[in-house]
A and B are shown apart, each in its own frame.
Chain A
Amino acid sequence: MSDKTSGDALTFTPVIGIEIHIQLKTKSKIFCSCSADYTHDAPNSHICPVCMGLPGSMPVLNETVVQQGMLAGMALNCGIQPTTYFFRKSYYYPDLPKGHQITQSDLPIAEKGYLMIKDDAGNPKRIRITRLHLEEDVGKLHHSAADGRLEGAATSYVDYNRSGLPLAEIVSEPDISSAREAVEYATALRRRVRYCGASDADLEKGMMRFDANVSVKCSDGRWGRRVEVKNMNSFRALERAIEYEVKRQSKILTEGGEVLQETRHWNDAKETTMASRVKEFYRKFIVEPDLPPLVVSPEWVENTRAALPEMPDEKLRRYVEEWGLSEVDAAILADSRDVAQYFEACVTAGANPARASNWVRTEILRTLNERQNQRQNERQNDKQMGAEELAVKPEALAELLIRVDGGKISTTLAKSVFENMLEGLSLDEALTKSGASEGGVKADVLSDLARATLAANPDVIEEIKAGKDVKGKKLKFLQGLVMRETKGQARPEEVAAVIEAAIKVLLK
């Protein structure tokens, strides 16, 4: 270690900017009519002259891509540019069929946005978003080399199914100061682009990828050069890569060394970054002569803005302020749009917000999880199960919850009714199947049940008589027995009252 530091421990402040690629949600690719959904299909089964860049082929811009790009930009609080261009970014690589990528690059459709996150101390922090621009994806290489890299591979195969998928690249300002903040930013960004329907941002399917620009500022005034870390495709990788890089750069500066400006690749298996061995090709831009300028009319922008749903942060605030939910509960409900919509429809249909919140967070989310796992195990469909797919519509759930609140049925019975409704029964059918009869259990029936229960459990009665039921546990036990007998149709307070009355009689 250098002795120039005169004993004071050096501290390092990371300065991080993130580039995120998300795949925009469209039926077809950005410049041709090939299907954008190829997940289960054979390599090179979704290709045409255009996305293969065959000689003579010409790109035609898919308008839905523009629409989704604007939506995502608006969801990230960006301004929309009325006139932009596409450029050709030239470099050579086997997965790039035309030898150039068509991209909006420095003339993006959306720019100057921001996202709010919490910094490491828990205070609100604004991360500025420089721009969101549209571009095409490239193909995918499969190498026969052991480490999966191109260099040294005996054979490499190229799959162009991904070539031409619509991407938005979202570039942040270097406002991020830790790996944790980076993940929070990326998570918040994903939530918002999913919310507005611009992207599914499914990490496992490669619909969201990260590059990070990382440098560290030393407390003695030295500043390491910027290192671009590429190739992260999970939140965990993003976090680990930044942590690793901050540590690596801090160590270099601590030892008096110099951080080189370079591109490094994240190796997920080894959890290290490595200097890129492939020399970056010199990138050049010209205006894409095969595409006219992209002009979005004010009407188009306005219509898109009208299609932008309420964003999760705003929903969360509303749930807390208007419906009195806790911030933690509200965050769970607002996390995905379909669940939030389900919850809100439930409340709108008359359910008590607190009870609806409770049920959606437990029963609905649990069911969605189970169904999702089942789907994955059976490999039927790897599409995320949405709350709107459940057989129990929010209005029906609301009606059930209103009955619970009205004391007409117990929570226990309601859960059984809910399970039956999940199988496709209507509320009435489910009530009948669960053995519930309208109006609960008559008082005299209840008294008979209570007396019979007490008679069947003389030992418990003895203990109560002996004054051993200090915490009321025995009483609760007896209540439970009666509830079970009534198949949950009785109101717990009523059962308690009947049992107490019966015990009083016995005690006399």
Chain B
Amino acid sequence: MEFHALGVHEIAAGVRAKKFTALDVFNECLDRTIACESKLSALITVTADSGRAQAREVDAGIARGEEMGLLAGVPVILKDNMCTHGIRTTAGSRILGYWSPPYDATVWRLLSSEGAVLLGKANMDEFAMGNTTGTSAFGPTANPWDLSRVPGGSSGGSAASVAAAYTPLALGSDTGGSIRQPASYCGIYGLKPTYGLVSRYGLIAYGSSLDQIGPFTRDLEDMALAMQILAHHDLKDSTSVAKGNIDFSLPMGDKNGNVNLKGKRIALVKDFQDFTLDPPIADAMRRVLRVMEEGGAEISEVSLPTVARYAVACYYAIAASEAHTNLARYDGVRYGLMVNTATSLKDMFEQVRSQGFGSEVKSRIIAGTCLTEPVRSEEYYVAATRVRTLIAAEFGKAFEKVDAILQPVTPSLPEKIGESDEDAMKGYESDLYTLPVNMAGLPGLSFCTGYARDSGPVPGFPSEPTSGLPVGLQLVGPRWSDKNLLDIAFELQKVLGAPQIARGGI
């Protein structure tokens, strides 16, 4: 049986009903993973042994007649910046090369307590800094739709894993689009939840006020199920918000293809209209708008001038300022890379950090250090935090009139591996559609609209029929409207179809 093609809810239901065992599911998914990994490099660590042990425990529990939880026997993958007790957690960096945390991230505690089984830790841009998964100290990950292209970043490993069906669920983290952009590049669903909805405890920080953990799935019902578990008030994270129990379950009744978006007020951003989009993305925007209109949604425009002009610059100022303080702890004293050739304390810090960090991380640390220097901080860091308040207010005003904004995730389809290495600014410009969402702490859902037809054959992998690259778009809503975004996407899915496993597609 092809367990890897099943959804989260199907595996959990099957395991609970003893139709198949958690171990069978795990082994089959592991086989698929091993078969694909030589081409994709989506994982840094494959947790075969501990995963098997967890699967056996689930099976044993079921045999004893215990209630095994919503994720009984579901294999999952975590981005490698989420701490797993006793399992190496690297954040894609040489400086944490072989670090095994003595504790679990809250998200993993929540998933595993529902019976999830860990299959591996996903590759990522070093400390989540990047757009391609190419800054990882463990080498780049390939896009499963086209091995010559990037899967997006920084959660590219997690997105590629789900697109290639290693597991039906993986977690990523999104600081400026790091869930939504790779989800779009890999043709799956990726949700960046409202800031504070999912605990960050145990997430190796990049920009703490921007970071948010969220799920990747190929199925919206799976995503709703994952959010049901992850949206949990955590006393260990002071920025976690108690929202009670949000019911994420989707209206599964109407699956006959009738799109119902009556009463949904959807907007386009006027100030984004001048930016050029790749033709497949522009086509997708038009197509989805038509579906929405036909489904009864009210379409309008909102204006976000401050966002359009200042968000990217302010984002990088804040992210770098927070990053350099978050990364100050890697000094070779307590864990991670150490040196024994240092002649002084300062020399030790310098050697560890120059050998341990890659160039992207170094450049952001230096930027953060400069931006927060006492003489400059008022002009840069403090100014950026003030603009951030304006940005949040501008979104707040827009969402008085509309329920969600429809916009691209990126202006272009995935680039070739290595392409943007020389042109850092290209990456920065492409972030306009994703960064402001983090600045204002909003939820953003990336969904697949279909596949571009002009991207040529997929070489080498998978061996099935060729296909075009996936084309994703994004829904952004006011804070705590995560469930509403899933509802809208669920209606769209009736016309657009569900994301395919990366094997050729439509």
Contacts and interface: CB of A to CB of B under 8 A. Distances in A.
Interface of A: 49, 52-61, 88, 90, 92, 94, 97-100, 150-151, 158, 282-287, 289-292
B335 interface: yes
B205 A90 contact: no
Interface string B191-209: 0000000001111110111
Contacts of B349: 92
Nearest to B235: A60
Contacts of A55: 83, 89, 91, 96, 99, 101, 204-205, 329
Contacts of A56: 81-83, 89, 101, 105, 201-205
Contacts of A291: 238-239
A100 B323 CA distance: 12
B238 A54 contact: no
A284 B208 contact: no
A158 B332 CA distance: 13
A49 B372 contact: no
A60 B83 CA distance: 18
B209 to A, nearest CB: 4
B377 interface: yes
Cβ-closest 9 pairs across A and B: A99-B328, A289-B209, A289-B208, A56-B202, A55-B204, A284-B372, A56-B83, A88-B325, A94-B333
B239 A292 contact: yes
B238 A52 contact: no
Interface string B332-351: 01110000000011000100
Given A55-B96, A290-B239, A285 B101 contact: no
A83 to B, nearest CB: 15
A59 B335 CA distance: 20
A136 B331 CA distance: 20
Contact of A58 (B236, B322, B369, B373): B236
A59 B328 CA distance: 16
A131 to B, nearest CB: 19
Nearest to A55: B204
B2 to A, nearest CB: 35
A219 to B, nearest CB: 35
Contacts of A290: 205, 208, 237-239
A164 B82 CA distance: 23
B103 A49 contact: yes
B318 to A, nearest CB: 9
Contacts of B103: 49, 54
B263 interface: no
A285 B375 CA distance: 11
A54 B331 CA distance: 12
Interface residues of B, number: 47
B374 interface: yes
Contacts of B83: 54-56
A61 B329 contact: no
A289 B333 contact: no
A286 B328 contact: no
B466 interface: no
Contacts of A286: 321-322, 325, 372, 377, 381
Nearest to A279: B346
B385 interface: yes
Interface hub of B81, B207, B238 (most chain A Cβ within 10 A) = B238
A151 B343 CA distance: 10
Interface in B47-94: 81-83, 89, 91
Nearest to A49: B103
B102 interface: yes
Contacts of A58: 200-201, 236-238
Given A60-B237, A60-B238, 16 more contacts: A54-B101, A54-B335, A55-B99, A56-B204, A58-B201, A88-B325, A92-B349, A94-B345, A98-B325, A100-B325, A284-B373, A285-B374, A286-B325, A290-B205, A291-B238, A292-B239
A99 B200 contact: no
B384 to A, nearest CB: 11
A322 B143 CA distance: 86
Contacts of A92: 328, 331, 349
A479 B239 CA distance: 80
B238 A99 contact: no
Given A59-B238, A289-B208, A53 B200 contact: no
Contacts of B344: 151
A500 B154 CA distance: 105
Contacts of B374: 282-285
B28 to A, nearest CB: 31
A205 B10 CA distance: 60
Contacts of B330: 99
Given A56-B83, A287-B385, A94 B331 contact: yes
A283 B374 CA distance: 8
B300 to A, nearest CB: 34
Nearest to B327: A99
Interface hub of A56, A61, A150, A291 (most chain B Cβ within 10 A) = A56
A284 B328 contact: no
Nearest to A89: B325
Interface in B312-329: 321-322, 324-325, 327-329
Contact of A52 (B328, B334, B369): B334
